[in-house]
Amino acid sequence: MLSVITPARNMAQFLPDTLDSVAALAAPLRAVPNEEEIARLLEVPVADLLAADARLPSEPDRLTLRYPLLGEDVWGATARILREFAAVVRDALGARIAAPD
């Protein structure tokens, strides 16, 4: 496990079921969304997420914390989760790059 993600509440103070930890997997994970809750599943390459995150203000507010991904405007609790996930990935990549061979 690489890190633990802080639960993100949405505007109605609803705590969505989200991943609560980040880990490196040897094989791709097949997501099976609940069709009653999820209209579309976006499979975004991590590099694209990190690029979008890098274009955000350093301390975005709830109006500027938005990710334009695959033609969608990702905001709110999902954007806050992605923001923290991007930070975890950057930390992990930085540690890997700095590690001696």
**Domain extents for the chain?**
62-101
Q: What is the pLDDT of residue 27?
A: 80
Count of positions (residues) in the chain = 101
Q: Which residues of the chain have pLDDT under 50?
A: 1-2, 10-15, 97-101
The secondary structure of the chain, three-state, reads CCEECCCCCCCCCCCCCCCCEECCCCCCCCCCCCCCCCCCCCCCCHHHHHHHHHCCCCCCCCCCCCEEECCEEECHHHHHHHHHHHHHHHHHHHHHHHCCC
Distances in Å between the alpha carbon of 39 and those of 2, 42, 65, 87? 29, 10, 21, 27
Instruction: Give pLDDT, residue 98.
Output: 44
pLDDT on residue 40: 85
